[in-house]
Amino acid sequence: MNSAEAIVPDVTLEQVFTGAGFADVRGASSLQRSITRVARGLPLDGILNDDELTRYYGTTEIPPGLIPTLVVLICGVRGGKSWLAACAAWHATLTAEVSKNKKKLKLHELPRIAVVGPDTDSAAATFTIIRGIGESSPVLSKLIETITSDTIIVKRPDGRRVEICVVAASKGGRTVRNRWLLAFILEEVAQFPSESDGAVVNVDEMLKAARTRLLDGCQGWLISSPYGPQGKLYDLWKRYFGHPGSTLVVWAPTRAMNPNFPQSEIDALAAEDPDTAASEFGAEWTDRENSFLDSVSVDAGIRQGPELLLPPAGSVCACAMDAGTRSNSWTFSVVCATSTRVYVLGCWERKGSKLFPLSPKGIFREFQGVLAPYGIKEIYSDQWSFDANADHANDFGFTLMERDAGECDDGYAKIKTLLGNGELDLPPTPNVRTDLLAMRRRVLNGNVKIILPKQSNGRHCDFCPSISVAVTRAIVAQKNAALGPNLRAFGDSYKPNLAHGQYDGGLGTVRYHSALEM
């Protein structure tokens, strides 16, 4: 337990967090409860298993009886980290030893609990929680002497007064140097500028200043979701995660902290902005500068019209596929290029599973009809199960062509350029946008590498390889004004009635539109 004598020895942080007379957080998760115990040096009593301890604390070895000076919560939003810090502030108000503290606090000195953020709004949000807990608690409300929009004065049972207030971040941390602290809360630490950035007001100075004014046996709480692998928060995580001691680091996504938060909200944001979802909800160290494509250019490239187009007469088409029978989707993309624009005429995917894998033979049988309006005879593919797939493709009139090793990366670069110039027409097909925005760029030894990470929705950027290869092949064919091995001209042999009509490929009638209509 704390080396300081407790004013209210029977009150634990867990009781302040969950107790009916205090914050009364009902349905607290096991992870939240574990934080209230570890932060005060109390045993976990099996509340988490070894896998969970390793995942959220980085280790199964947590020193018993050791109360950390700093508690660092790197957690997804809406996980309750501000509530935990707010309850820690109230617990310190009630239990921290003041009169006999080694710092020799004088009777006239008013100890403080400071709430600091990168801006006043961030700090005020946590202070609002502290105030709400105090006003609604049958125990705490009786101790409140005065309360304003940014300050609470509490008179403890021992007669000592404590101030809880919002404090502005300042140069050299001077706003936290002028009072002894029973606790401090640094809110949204990842959003603070750092000393290495050259910022005059920075998190490093605020933290150093606050720690020097912290009374013996008291704590500082640093709470934030991550924002890229840099800065003070990242440094603390690298140094102390998995090594609890005077600094305790907890790292957890939103639903680990708060399982009641709707997964649907996380999935919706992941579909729109994978990076933000990964950092805000997944608590991942996502470097947003590594996004390969931006949402503005991708959205501008997605046509408002039909999902499927037919090419203008005289243009050439290219088709590429990316095979996958179980975890990844099997995708096809058909692209044509004119002298001024590149059209992704259609994208299709089929998805299997471990229990029900896709049949390659069944895929080519189905797409014999789907691709017939485009006159596709040759399809580009990677090396995955190439020979077996080539045999199945041949049975249904296709020739499978092995793509070049670096062709995907070339295609991704072309996609980026075309989107930047407003020259790429993308279909409004589900998952096309999500897959393109999920691509990442990574610089390795001076070379840019395109990464297709696994997405939170389980996808693996499945449409990207087939779109990129088809784009590359269509551009080459158009520039050379010649037919490649998997290209077919739509001229005299093209049936005009299909330009605005319908085609039944054995799967029901499908409506196709000419690209010239767009």
pTM to 2 decimals? 0.59
Q: Where does CATH 3.30.420.240 sit in the chain?
A: 295-517
Q: Does the 295-517 domain belong in CATH 3.30.420.240?
A: yes
The CATH superfamily assigned to 13-98+107-288 is P-loop containing nucleotide triphosphate hydrolases (3.40.50.300)
Q: CB 132: neighbour CB atoms within 10 A?
A: 13
Spatial distance between the Cα atoms of 91 and 447, rounded to a whole number of angstroms = 52
Q: Where does CATH 3.40.50.300 sit in the chain?
A: 13-98+107-288
- 518 residues of the chain, pLDDT tens digit each: 333 333 455 799 999 999 999 999 999 999 999 999 999 999 999 999 999 999 999 999 998 899 999 999 999 999 999 999 999 999 999 998 876 666 666 777 899 999 998 877 778 889 999 999 999 999 999 999 999 999 999 999 888 899 999 988 877 777 788 889 999 999 988 888 766 555 667 888 899 999 999 998 899 999 999 877 778 898 899 999 999 999 999 999 999 999 999 999 998 888 777 778 888 999 988 765 567 888 888 999 999 989 999 988 777 789 999 999 988 899 999 999 988 899 999 999 999 988 999 999 999 999 999 999 998 999 999 988 999 999 999 999 999 999 987 888 889 999 999 999 999 999 999 899 989 988 888 755 456 788 888 765 667 899 999 999 999 999 988 876 544 444 333 332 223 233 333 333 333 334 455 554 44
Tens digits of per-residue pLDDT, 186-195?
A: 998 888 876 6
Spatial distance between the Cα atoms of 475 and 118, rounded to a whole number of angstroms = 49
**Residue 178: alpha-carbon gap to chain centroid:** 39
Tens digits of per-residue pLDDT, 308-327?
A: 999 887 777 899 999 999 88
Specify the DSSP class assigned to residue 96. Answer: -
DSSP run (H or E) holding 53: helix 50-57
Q: Which of 143, 107, 134 is nearest to 23 (CA)?
A: 134
Radius of gyration of the chain (CA): 30
Long-range contacts of 54-60 (CB under 8 A, 24+ apart): 55/252, 55/256, 56/31, 56/250, 56/251, 56/252, 56/256, 57/241, 57/242, 57/244, 57/248, 57/249, 57/250, 58/241, 58/242, 58/243, 58/249, 58/251, 59/242, 59/243, 59/244
Spatial distance between the Cα atoms of 197 and 374, rounded to a whole number of angstroms = 55
Spatial distance between the Cα atoms of 102 and 92, rounded to a whole number of angstroms = 16
Q: CB 513: neighbour CB atoms within 10 A?
A: 17
Q: Which residues are 346's β-sheet partners?
A: 334
Q: CB 407: neighbour CB atoms within 10 A?
A: 18
